[in-house]
Structure 1
Amino acid sequence: MTVHWLDLSAPPHLPALYAQAAAKRKITGSTLPEQGLRCWVDIDTQALAAFRDVCAIAPNPLLPPTYPHVLAFGLQMQLLTDKDFPFPLLGLIHLTNRIRVLRPMGGVTRLRIGVFVHNLQKHPKGATFDVVTQVDDQLGPLWEAESTLLCKGVDLPSEVPATPTFSPLALTELTRWYAPSNIGRRYARVSGDYNPIHLSAASAKLFGLPSAIAHGLWLKARALAALNAHLPAANVEISVAFKKPVRLPSEVILLSSDAGSSGDFQLNGHGDLVHLIGQWRPIS
């Protein structure tokens, strides 16, 4: 697709966007907008340090591989609450996330973030689409990502596409950690993502959940922090599929294959509960 870019002079103001998200509750169409949003963003060292703390990421001269999502969140919010976007933001379900670190993300102080949506497809429960994020520094493309989101209740005429599968490598337990009841509020403060399903049991129950659930991207960031010694610093694609949500509070268990250019990992609860499956591969 051809993206028609709108360049912004400053990142969007989140409180106004949350008001727009709360006001829109209905599906208004089945066509995605072709306009994308771009903006230059400065790295705030204090905000970055706070993100590292919440995600248990050790100090490192490189940006954490999931941190560009935080920098892009305001642009994504503006795109998904625009009047031309057909689906209500509240209620969208994050199914998968894939990031590609193209070059080592060190010595970075300013980045150009671009976001757009595409790839609308039929799903057994509605329709899915991808939110694409592209990040450049002064030298060119640095990082990119795709998040696949599900909107229930959308009726598209096309066929449901086949679901890709992969066979994981042998996994062993690497570590485990406790996700406390307040981690949703803590991650919201560093990411800007104040979705009510993550904040408290009371706010989650308004959306039909028995308790608050952890942010999917916090789980990915926390897992990648633990996997840091296993992962290449660049030329790597890291994909995850979100399965059963992590109800807060609870303990989670990280399983992983050995370090190398390719590998697999999985985040489990107790018993047979699988929260997340993931893999890293070289960018071909």
Structure 2
Amino acid sequence: MPTGLPASGDPAARARVELPRLPAAGPLYRRALLNAVPGLGGRRGETVPAVELAVSGVPVDPERLADYDRVCGFRLADRLPATFPHVMGFPLALRLITAPEFPIPLTAVVHVGNRITVRRPVTVTDRLDFTTWAENLRPHDRGRQVDVVLVGSVGGEEVWRGVSTYLGRQRTPDGGERRDHGERPPPPAVTARWPVTLRVGTDYARVSGDHNPIHTSRLGARLLGFPRPIAHGMWSKARCLAALESRLPDAYTVDVAFKLPVPLPGAVAFSATPLDSGWDFSLHDRRGRPHLVGTIR
């Protein structure tokens, strides 16, 4: 497949490109680092690539699933956690994000939100057809945001959909993330407290394929403005779902906003509130500041 992708803001203009297999993540990360070098990366697109990438018949690796369950706190089972298709299809989305025409370079990407809809249970015997595209490029007070959609289907039926919102941040004068120092409501009552070890970054990178050095390397984190590695946002989401998995229905939508990063090592407080329509949940630090805020409906 050519390196370049056509660009357009018109969804009707998207071309469908079928790949023979999921891309390998390693070369994509190397391409992203090369594109970050001044003068070598080319000009970023002003629209999203006018393409949807697809790959068919992706099997579930039972050993990887079991390892993922352990790292994220799920019970070992044949049913996939809602967050597992995200890691299965992540290399396809990464291929899209690391294209030179993608409007935000991978090295500047911050994952600020993720919404997953499970339409029916997905099991270890299912073979998933994945499709991904980008949409809704829009301004933000810290840069630009874009949504990357990843859809999983079985036998022509959509069974799973994930929408990841990425922010292309602009650095503040101190080189870090801007903090919101406004008044916050008090955090909800704590349901559980969890230690988050340094290994969370490397273990989740191994089972997810997301080897962004901001999560696995102190030097990589410092280069991107953080004093130490931070946990993957999708690990935080998965850990929350694992705490509620025995109370989840067969079909639901789980939507989270990622707030302050979780430094490694560290500790978090988990809060979950049952509602007639589902759950509200969150992760906070010791000072009550939110790392993640989410809903299940």
| Common fold by TM > 0.5 | yes
Please list, as runs of the form range in 1=range in 2, the aligned pairs for 1:178-197 lying within 5 A after superposition.
178-197=195-214
Quote the residue 1:115 is aligned against: 132
Matched, 1:104 2:115: no
Cα pair 2:70 2:76 within 8 Å, conserved: no
- Specify the SS of the correspondent of 1:187: helix
Please list, as runs of the form range in 1=range in 2, the aligned pairs for 1:131-146 lying within 5 A after superposition.
131-138=148-155, 140-146=157-163
Equivalent position to 2:24, from 13, 36, 44: 13
In structure 1, distance between residues paired with 2:190 and 2:158: 35
Quote the residue 2:260 is aligned against: 244
Map Cα deviations across residues 199-258 of structure 1 (whole Å, 9 max, x no partner). Answer: 032321122210100000000001100011232221x11000001100011111110112
In structure 1, distance between residues paired with 2:91 and 2:17: 14
The alpha-carbon deviation at position 91 of structure 1 amounts to 1.7
Cα pair 1:175 1:226 within 8 Å, conserved: no
The alpha-carbon deviation at position 86 of structure 1 amounts to 3.0
The alpha-carbon deviation at position 175 of structure 1 amounts to 1.7
Map Cα deviations across residues 14-62 of structure 1 (whole Å, 9 max, x no partner). Answer: 1111110101126623111110111121111111111111111102231
TM-score, length basis structure 2 = 0.85
Cα pair 2:127 2:154 within 8 Å, conserved: yes
Cα pair 2:35 2:100 within 8 Å, conserved: no
Identity in percent: 38
In structure 2, distance between residues paired with 1:231 and 1:176: 21
**Which ranges in structure 1 are unaligned for 5 or more consecutive residues?**
155-167
**Which ranges in structure 2 are unaligned for 5 or more consecutive residues?**
1-10, 172-184
Cα pair 2:60 2:124 within 8 Å, conserved: no
The alpha-carbon deviation at position 105 of structure 1 amounts to 1.7
Map Cα deviations across residues 74-120 of structure 1 (whole Å, 9 max, x no partner). Answer: 10111111232232111201111000001122354310011100001
In structure 2, distance between residues paired with 1:126 and 1:153: 5
Cα pair 1:5 1:36 within 8 Å, conserved: yes
In structure 1, distance between residues paired with 2:151 and 2:263: 31
The amino acid across from 1:38 in the alignment is A
The amino acid across from 1:137 in the alignment is V
The alpha-carbon deviation at position 197 of structure 1 amounts to 0.6
Quote the residue 1:74 is aligned against: 91
> Aligned residue pairs: how many?
266
Please list, as runs of the form range in 1=range in 2, the aligned pairs for 1:53-68 lying within 5 A after superposition.
53-68=70-85
Quote the residue 2:6 is aligned against: none
- Specify the SS of the correspondent of 2:108: coil
Map Cα deviations across residues 183-211 of structure 1 (whole Å, 9 max, x no partner). Answer: 10110000110111100323211222101
In structure 2, distance between residues paired with 1:38 and 1:87: 21
In structure 2, distance between residues paired with 1:77 and 1:4: 18
Please list, as runs of the form range in 1=range in 2, the aligned pairs for 1:193-204 lying within 5 A after superposition.
193-204=210-221
Please list, as runs of the form range in 1=range in 2, the aligned pairs for 1:111-260 lying within 5 A after superposition.
111-138=128-155, 140-153=157-170, 171-234=188-251, 236-258=252-274
The alpha-carbon deviation at position 174 of structure 1 amounts to 2.2
The amino acid across from 1:114 in the alignment is T
Quote the residue 1:36 is aligned against: 52
Cα pair 1:180 1:248 within 8 Å, conserved: yes
- Specify the SS of the correspondent of 1:225: helix
In structure 2, distance between residues paired with 1:233 and 1:242: 25
In structure 2, distance between residues paired with 1:200 and 1:260: 42
Cα pair 1:246 1:275 within 8 Å, conserved: yes
In structure 1, distance between residues paired with 2:125 and 2:115: 21
